[in-house]
A and B are shown apart, each in its own frame.
Chain A
Amino acid sequence: MKRIRVENVSHSFPETEVFRDLSFSVDSREFVSILGQSGCGKSTLLHVISGVIAPDSGRVFLDEEDITSRPGLVSYMPQNDLLLPWKTVLRNIGLPLSLKGRKAREAAAAVEPYLALFGLEGFEHRYPAQLSGGMRQRAALLRTYLHRTDIMLLDEPFGALDAITRERLQEWLTRLLETLRTTVLLVTHDIDEAILLSDRIIVLSPRPARIAEILPVDLPRPRNGEQKLSPEFLKLKKRALHALE
């Protein structure tokens, strides 16, 4: 069981109150999206949950363990791919393992079995600048997965991609997660993405953010882009749009 629970978390920067009193949970192997407008505090919320910044108040739990301000216990994928330009794709992906003290060769051996699954086979010895945007995101995702395979926080993983690549990767991610079975908390401002991927959507209001609505998504799986035109999908989209206001 790997479950995240966020309890009454509030955070402000000088002059900006970002969010107040947020409480929600993500169940083991559930896919939950946090949907909110740009600037509403989604990245800040992931920083708090991943433990790299301390909230003004509130706590974060992993199962029953208090993990507030304790980095390293969940996987976190930042908004930009943030691959190191001087390391090959293979070394970049193995970074979390190197940080845990594994030798370069061991890290590479641990990465290799996943390369095909993440569509990176044959590109592992290239540098990040030699990859397409979609490949870089997949490499960053695999790096995130290898830090800790059972729980991932993803900050707009497809935000910087063109519409076609984004949709292809969204479908790829749904298929991938059927294999990997990981708990995922994803942050996005893309309503279609949230509906397509999630079991549940937490809609945030504009700043200072609070939870405007929690939408269960009951669309059948496996999902694909065609479902975007189904009446159920459009109904969810309308509710999400309404809640975002």
Chain B
Amino acid sequence: MKKKSGNISKWLIPLAAGLAFVLIWQLAGGAGLVSPYILPPPLRVAASLAEDVPLLVQHAAVTFVTSVAGLAAAVALALLMCLAMDLWPAFKKAVYPYMVISQTIPIIFIYPVIMMGLGFGLAPKIAVVTLVCFFPIGVNLSDGLAQTDPELLLLFRSMKASRWKTILLLKLPGALPAFFSGLKIAAAYSVIGAVISEWLGAQAGLGVYMIRASKSFVLSRVFAGILVVVALSLGLFAVVLAAERVFLSWKFITNHKENKS
């Protein structure tokens, strides 16, 4: 019983808060407190959203593909880099600082360079998403691998475990929780990364849709685009959460037991 009411309030409270916020926003617009050219009222945004469904679906599909491809590339890249860094400490020393630097690059300014290398298609956009997503995944995974319990490493050594088996049976599974922390952050950022790259020059995608809407001063459509970006980001985040539940099921099972006792 207690558990159920806890679940309801877990959903109900944020939902009610959100609705209240939207209501106040709508009323403030209706009362003339906020100009619709600065902040279009929610009903107007909803109308634009409904009008543009086919167009939004088209653009969202492009953004979605870019985001997922970039995220997948970032995961593959992070996995390769982190394994290499774990196997060769000298490689880690050489590369780790640049991993951090990669995150400090203002994408807006190097995007033309990326485009010169990768052309005008989806490739440079995917590269931007990869650049954005690689850092949280790579740093978390690499730290997770580095934090393997030294006593467990000693135990594996006492059983003469090969390097590869030690990685496969000890280091990687141990680093999985850290990897998922990084992946959650990356999933939340990936769509924004895709939108920014589209903003910088593309033929399709939510970034293109929004820049067109804003250039023609139809703010309610810009907001409709924002809503779709939020929904896409949340959707990707939810997929990662679900994957985490599958891969770290042992954690959720044992946590459950602790909660009960």
Contact = CB atoms under 8 A, between A and B. Distances in A.
Interface stretch (B58-66, B165-173, B228-236): B165-173
A99 B160 contact: yes
Interface in A189-213: none
A25 interface: no
A84 interface: yes
Most buried by A among B160, B162, B253: B160
Given A78-B151, A129-B254, A129-B257, A86 B158 contact: no
A215 to B, nearest CB: 28
A82 B254 contact: no
A99 B163 CA distance: 11
A127 interface: yes
Which of the four size classes fits the interface of chain B? 20 to 34
B64 to A, nearest CB: 32
Interface string A91-104: 00001101100000
A85 B254 contact: yes
B20 interface: no
A71 interface: yes
B159 A99 contact: yes
Interface in B149-199: 149, 151-152, 154-162, 165, 169-170, 173-174, 176
Contacts of A96: 159
Contact of B157 (A71, A82, A98, A130): A71
Interface stretch (A47-55, A158-166, A221-229, A235-243): A47-55
Q: Is the interface of B mostly helix, strand, loop or mixed?
A: helix
A84 B158 contact: no
A184 B174 CA distance: 31
Contacts of A78: 151, 154-155, 158
Contacts of A51: 158
Contacts, number: 63
B253 A127 contact: yes
A76 interface: yes
Nearest to A130: B257
A130 B253 CA distance: 9
A57 interface: no
Q: Is the interface of A mostly helix, strand, loop or mixed?
A: loop
B250 interface: yes
Nearest to B248: A86
Contacts of B253: 127, 130
Contacts of A47: 154
A119 interface: no
Contact of B250 (A52, A80, A85, A99): A85
Contacts of B170: 84
Interface in B105-123: none
Contact of A72 (B160, B165, B176): B160
Given A99-B165, A127-B254, A129-B257, A86 B173 contact: yes
Given A85-B250, A86-B173, A50 B161 contact: no
A147 interface: yes
Nearest to B160: A72
Given A127-B254, A130-B254, A130-B257, A52 B173 contact: no
A80 B169 CA distance: 19
B169 A95 contact: yes
B154 to A, nearest CB: 5
Contact of B173 (A79, A84, A99): A84
A82 B149 CA distance: 9
Contact of A71 (B151, B160, B173, B176): B160
B257 A147 contact: no
Interface string B238-261: 000000000010110110011000
Please give me the 5 A-B residue pairs with the lowest Cβ-Cβ distance, nearest first. A72-B160, A129-B254, A76-B158, A86-B250, A99-B161
Interface of A: 47, 50-52, 71-72, 76, 78-80, 82, 84-87, 95-96, 98-99, 127, 129-130, 147
11 contacts: A72-B159, A84-B170, A84-B174, A96-B159, A98-B169, A99-B159, A127-B254, A129-B254, A129-B258, A130-B257, A147-B159
Given A51-B158, A82-B149, 14 more contacts: A50-B158, A52-B158, A72-B160, A76-B158, A79-B151, A84-B169, A84-B173, A84-B174, A85-B254, A86-B174, A86-B176, A99-B160, A127-B254, A130-B254
